[in-house]
Structures are given as structure tokens and as C-alpha cells.
Amino acid sequence: MIRSLLKFLLGKMLRLVVLLAAISILSFMMVKMAPIDPVQAYVGADLLKVSEAQREQIAAYWGLDQPPLAQFLTWGSAVLKGNLGTSMTFRQPVTDVIAERFLSSLALMVSAWALSGLIGFAAGAAAAMNRNTWVDRMIHWYCYTLAATPAFWLGLLLIMVFSVWLGWFPLGLGVPAGMAADQVTLGDRIYHMFLPALVLSVTGIATIALHTRQKLAEVLDSDYIIFARARGERGFGLFWRHGLRNIALPALTLQFASFSELFGGAVLAEQVFAYPGLGQATVQAGLRGDVPLLLGIVLFSTCFVFAGNMIADLLYTIIDPRIRSRDGGDPLEAG
Amino acid sequence: MTVLEIRNLSVFFSRYYNWFRKRTEACLNGLELSVGAGQLVAVIGSSGSGKSLLAHAVMGILPRNAGWSGQMLYKGELLTPQLQQRLRGRELALVPQSVSYLNPLMQVGKQVRMSGGGVRSRTELRSMFRRYGLESQVERMYPFQLSGGMMRRVLVSTATLGGAELIIADEPTSGLHAELAQETVMRFRELADEGSAVLLITHDLESVLPYADAIAVLYGGTSIEVAPAHYFSGDGTMLRHPYSRALWTALPRNEFTPPKGKPLVRPARSAAGCPYREYCESASEACRSGQIPVRRVNEGWVRCIDAT
């Protein structure tokens, strides 16, 4: 068991390295082709005061006069040493910016992730147990509507209704404006996070609900449910042992595999709510031509999504007895 | 003592064939059957003739869109849904036909122990498994790891664990080679000899004949004849329904002539008359209308007006 797990992890790590290398090359090429002028990004608004000669000096200082391949190698070897460079927007090392921004994004993403998982799973289970009734149809309709709703539009709508008209929630930002950092309470943070988390969770609900409904409907129609009933099992015990347990795993896997949508959604949600997370930093880095930060975020988000997918794979390998034994592990030892 | 008596049982499905109109389709029609303690009654019918529905109706686990009419008596008591719920997994046991009837993600032993709404003890399970020659490690296996023979024994053991008085086996020999089929039927014979009433539903006449007390022949969704097993011998003249005789002569060891016409698995659109009349040589005008009455002839009964 331990050995096969190590083998699994080693294989995954190898794949991650290859993936990161490919992503680096691809993103670097794309940045090079994009109409971004790094010198202008570095100098910022003072562009008019900088002469042509000074620009060339700056370019030479940053190595921008070298051919692209040499530039890539310079950047790549620095990355390998753990140095992602300095963000020109934040005037801070890229790693610091990512760490700080990711932490505040993490709270947002985790709560949205848990929320969408719970709501989606509950809705899907409710729909399957009331198949072809009005409950099922309502949940279906709701899911299709949610799936067709752009997150940023929903965000704007919620701001309009709950922040502007009703005044229940703040307009944006992660903490109350103008308050000293040490005075901000956990309550303040949750209060500011509520609407963005809600918007971010919406993208995941429909997928998980429809998937759960389908799976549970299959289970409820299955022969083994019939036989379990024939053995006298019934009610919640029957549902728990043979229904929930058999669909919870695929649902959880799907949820872990949805990290990419979560990250993509965070970019939009954070932008709409001016929430100071990694998503917002991504937009800023893109708009201001902050190449080191942009590439750093790309690499980081790759790892993030990869981790989600790996957890999903791992869950299946550990929990599902059929896959477990195919991988060489003996379920008799594990059980 | 009669353990199960089925009188005039019909099972039907209702489905919408467009938005508004609902149509009911009968799958079993006017079925009659009884089985006593210590008896093994085999129900013979072609595949897809609603034999499983018979099992599910007695157990009270028909699908939601199915309904039934008629009377089912368990030890003389009307078998209501409440009674079925109380008996399931205890006095009433079903032995299903394939591995798909076990939860693929749950250890076999755990599932078998969960009979009758409660969890049975490990020791009880172990002694039961030993009886069927299953090693104790089988308890912790998952259904996909069992061989066909082991699977069958595990499924049979689910019936014995609860000490069931009525055991309904649904196609327990389908897909088994002759030797294993025989072993399986023998196990049910054993259970009958210990005092249980066994209803064995199958399409395989040959493998159950040596062990059955009586054979009920299903055709067109109804039982057309119930005869003692020894009637199926010689040239079959002791059998009184032409279809039962056709089934008998179709066996490889007899004339090996297939029954005429295609097997009628569902009741004809009009339930009136004998379902076999189109293929019967001695069919008369009287076979076309009305309900063919059940006639008791010697042992068993037959639903044929020509029977003597």
C-alpha cells in the first residue's frame, strides 16, 4: 500500500515537472508576443520624463536587448533557484505578493468551494429522490439557469440589490475601508467575503447537483438497492449505506477536479468586488504588463489546479476497492 | 402446511405514452400458485416472461410504477405491504440472480450480515459461510473479487442467515454450467428438506427437475399448469397442457422439437381465452373467449378445457 502510494506520488511529481516546463515555455512565448512593453511597465506613468537613451539603458539593465531564448533561460534559471523576480506593480518580490494574495483568496475559495459542494450535493440528492416530480424539475431549472449565468453579471446584480439598494453588505474590498489592519476583526472579513463567496460558489453548484442527481438516480434504480430492500433494509439506513456512500466519492472527486473553474471564477468575482485576492492581482498584472507577476501566477495556478486533480485521483485510488486492487494493492490487507 | 398461496395475481405497469394519457400494461395476469413447507416448487417460464416480477411482488419490492391485484397469503394471512416489510430479510428471503445485486463498494460479509433490518453477528455469518464452503476471508472481499461459484454460494447464504421460511430464488442457475447449476439447485433442495418453502424461478427445466416437488409452468403471463415433477417423464402424456408437453418434448434428451410459435412472454392484448390457442392443435372456438377455468386433475391443476 505504502509502496504503491509512493509510486503514485512519484509519477505525479514527474508529470507536474513536465507540465510546468511546458506551461513556462508557452506562457513566456505568449507574453513575448503580447503588446506589452516591459520598460513602459517598469517606468509607469513617468514615461514622458524618460528619454530614449534612458529607455535603452533600462532595457539593457533588465536584459531586454538579448534574444528571447536568452531571456527565457535567464528567467528560467532564476525560477529554478526559487526566485520569481520582483513585481513591478507592487514593488515586492513575486513570491511575497502571491503568498499574501493567495491567503486572502484561499478563504474566499475554500468557503465558496465548500458552499457549492454542500448545496450542489444536497440539491442533487433531493432531485434524485423526488425524480420526475416538481421538486426535480425546479432543481433542474435552477441548475440550468445558474450554469448559464456569468459569474461577474451575477456579482454586479448582487451588489446592486444587496449593497446599493438594501445596504446589507459592503460594496467591495476585503476589509472596511480606512480601518487599521490590527483593528479588523474576523467578523469584518466574513462580512466582506460573503457576497463574493456566494457568487463564486454559483459556478460549481450546477455541475455537482446535476452529476449527483444522475448518479443517485442510477443507484436508486440499481439491482443492489432492490436486493438490500429484499433483505429488509429500509429508510435512511438504506439510503445512507447504499446511496450516499456510493455517490459521495464521485461527487467529492468532481469537486476536487473543479479547482480550475474555482480559480477562473475567483478572477472574475474578485475583480467585481474589488476583493484583494490572487484573482484581482492577476487582472492587475495583466493590465499593467507586470510580466514577472503574471508568469508567477500562471505557474502557481498550475500547481494549484494540479493539486486538486491529484487529490481527486488519490481519493479514488484509496477509497474505491476496485481501483485499489487493480493498482496492485491487495484490498484484503487494506480492509 | 401451505406457506405461500397466490390467487389470481396480476402485475401491471402504468406509463405515460404521451403527456396526458396513462396506459397500464399487464405483465402477469391471473397467476395461481402455492408452495408448502418443505416443498420446492419450480416456476418455469421463458426469459422475460415476468418471472422476476412474481418474485418482487411477493417480496413487496416492485418498482414504483408497478401495481398488483389479486391475493397473496402467507401462512393463511393476507400479505400486506406492512406484513411484507416485517417479514423481509427474516421469514421472507430473496436469492437474486447475479452479482449486480450486491453493492460493489461494500464488503460481502457486511452486506450479508445486514439482513432483517439488523446486523447479524460475525459468528453467525462465519458458521453460515462455513456451511457453504466459503473461507472466512471471503467476508472481506468485494463483490467483483468473487468467482461465479463463490458468488452463488454467497447469495444463497443470505437466505439462510435469516432462517427464512419462504425462500424465493430468482434464476439462481442462469449463466452457470451444468455442474454448478446442479450444485446450486441441490442447496435449495437442502433448504426445503430443512423445512423451508422454496420457490425457484427459472427457465431451465432440466436442472431443476430432479430436485423439485412440483413444477409450475408460466406462459403468456399466467400459470397454465402446476404438476408434480414426476409428470415430466416418459413421453409427457401425464402432462395436461399442450404447452407443458411442448416444453418437455423440447428438451434435448427427448424429441428436441422446439415448441411451436414464438414464446409469448406477455399477456395477449385481450386477456380472454387461452394464451396458447394459436399454436395448439386441438384448439377450438371455446378456447378463444372467456376465462379458461382452472381444473384440478389428480395432483396439481391445469388451465385447459381439453384436460381430462
pLDDT digits (tens, 9 = 90+) for A258-306: 888 888 888 888 888 888 888 888 888 888 777 888 888 888 889 989 9
How far off is chain B from A63, nearest CA to CA, in Å?
59
Q: Looking at residue B200, what is its pLDDT?
A: 94
Over the stretch B8-65, which tens digit does the pLDDT of each residue have?
Answer: 898 988 877 666 677 777 888 888 899 999 999 999 987 767 788 899 999 998 888 8
Candidates A24, A208, A38, A4; CA nearest to A112 is A208
> Is a pLDDT exceeding 50 seen at residue A327?
no
Q: Return phi, psi of residue B97, to 5°.
A: -95, -20
Share of chain B above pLDDT 70, in %: 91
CB contact under 8 A, A224 and B101: yes
Assign A329 a pLDDT band (cuts: 50, 70, 90).
very low
How far off is chain B from A241, nearest CA to CA, in Å?
9
CA distances from A284 to A61, A270, A274, A288 (A): 24, 11, 11, 6
CA distances from B70 to B9, B33, B67, B296 (A): 4, 12, 11, 20
Determine which of A227, A239, A242, A320 to mutate to test the interface with B (most B C-beta atoms within 10 Å).
A227
The partner residue sitting opposite B103, judged by closest CB among A242, A322, A325, is A242
Determine which of B103, B125, B144, B166 to mutate to test the interface with A (most A C-beta atoms within 10 Å).
B103
Q: Looking at residue A333, what is its pLDDT?
A: 40
Note whether residue B99 is domain-resident: no
Note whether residue B128 is domain-resident: no
CB contact under 8 A, B102 and A224: yes
> Is a pLDDT exceeding 50 seen at residue B249?
yes
Q: Which residues pair with B44 in a beta bridge?
A: B202, B217
Over the stretch A133-153, which tens digit does the pLDDT of each residue have?
Answer: 888 888 999 888 888 888 788
Assign B135 a pLDDT band (cuts: 50, 70, 90).
confident
Determine which of B101, B113, B156 to mutate to test the interface with A (most A C-beta atoms within 10 Å).
B101
> Is a pLDDT exceeding 80 seen at residue A107?
yes
Contacts of A118 (CB under 8 A, 6+ apart): none
CB contact under 8 A, A231 and B115: yes
> Is a pLDDT exceeding 90 seen at residue B114?
no
Q: What is the CA radius of gyration of chain A?
A: 25
Q: Looking at residue A37, what is its pLDDT?
A: 73
Within 8 A of A230 by CB-CB distance, chain B residues are 59, 61, 88-89, 93-94, 96
How far off is chain A from B118, nearest CA to CA, in Å?
8
Rounded to an integer, what distance in angstroms lies between the CA atom of residue A175 and that of residue B285? 92
- Work out the average pLDDT over A113-119: 90
> Is a pLDDT exceeding 60 seen at residue B270?
no
- Work out the average pLDDT over A236-257: 83
Note whether residue B105 is domain-resident: no
Q: Give the count of domains, chain B.
A: 1
Q: What is the CA radius of gyration of chain B?
A: 20
Task: Tell me if chain A has a CB within 8 Å of the CB of B62.
Answer: no
Interface contacts (A, B; CB < 8 Å): 82
Dihedral sign computed on CA atoms, order B252, B254, B259, B260: positive
- Work out the average pLDDT over A47-65: 75
Within 8 A of B98 by CB-CB distance, chain A residues are 223
| CB-CB contact of A87 with A290 (8 Å) | yes
Of the candidate ranges A109-123, A320-334, B114-128, B278-292, the one whose mean pLDDT is the lowest: A320-334
Note whether residue B52 is domain-resident: yes
Q: Which residues pair with B119 in a beta bridge?
A: B114
CB contact under 8 A, A246 and B103: yes
Candidates B214, B4, B188; CA nearest to B91 is B4
Q: Looking at residue A181, what is its pLDDT?
A: 65
CB contact under 8 A, A233 and B89: yes
Mean pLDDT of chain B: 83
Share of chain A above pLDDT 70, in %: 90
Q: Looking at residue A44, what is its pLDDT?
A: 67
Task: Tell me if chain B has a CB within 8 Å of the CB of A230.
Answer: yes
Note whether residue B308 is domain-resident: no
Regarding predicted confidence, which is higher, A108 or A51? A108
CB crowding A199-209: b at 16 or more within 10 Å, else e: bbbbbbbbbbb
Q: Can you state the percent helix, strand and coil of chain A, rounding each to 5?
A: 80, 0, 20
Assign A331 a pLDDT band (cuts: 50, 70, 90).
very low
Domains, in order of start, for chain A? 2-92 (no CATH), 94-334 (1.10.3720.10)
Looking up residue B242, the CATH number of its domain turns out to be 3.40.50.300
Q: Looking at residue A45, what is its pLDDT?
A: 62
CA distances from B181 to B99, B148, B213 (A): 16, 11, 17
Task: Tell me if chain B has a CB within 8 Å of the CB of A3.
Answer: no
Assign A5 a pLDDT band (cuts: 50, 70, 90).
confident
CB contact under 8 A, A322 and B144: yes
Note whether residue B170 is domain-resident: yes
Note whether residue B141 is domain-resident: no
User: What part of B 77-116 touches A (C-beta under 8 Å)?
Assistant: 85, 88-90, 93-94, 96, 98, 100-107, 111, 114-116
The partner residue sitting opposite B114, judged by closest CB among A233, A245, A332, is A233
Mean pLDDT of chain A: 81
Of the candidate ranges A119-123, A164-168, B154-158, B179-183, the one whose mean pLDDT is the lowest: A164-168
Note whether residue B40 is domain-resident: yes
Task: Tell me if chain A has a CB within 8 Å of the CB of B142.
Answer: yes
Highest mean pLDDT among A207-216, A312-321, B131-140, B170-179: A207-216
Q: Looking at residue A332, what is its pLDDT?
A: 42
Regarding predicted confidence, which is higher, A39 or A159? A159
How far off is chain B from A137, nearest CA to CA, in Å?
15
Task: Tell me if chain B has a CB within 8 Å of the CB of A323.
Answer: no
Assign A328 a pLDDT band (cuts: 50, 70, 90).
very low
Task: Tell me if chain A has a CB within 8 Å of the CB of B308.
Answer: no
Domain membership of residue B33 as a residue range: 2-91+163-302
How far off is chain B from A286, nearest CA to CA, in Å?
48
Rounded to an integer, what distance in angstroms lies between the CA atom of residue A263 and that of residue A109? 8
- The x, y and z cell numbers of residue B301, run together, are 391443476
Contacts of A40 (CB under 8 A, 6+ apart): A47, A289
Regarding predicted confidence, which is higher, B193 or A328? B193
Over the stretch A152-202, which tens digit does the pLDDT of each residue have?
Answer: 888 888 888 887 788 777 776 666 666 666 666 777 777 777 888 888 888
Within 8 A of A226 by CB-CB distance, chain B residues are 56, 61, 96, 101
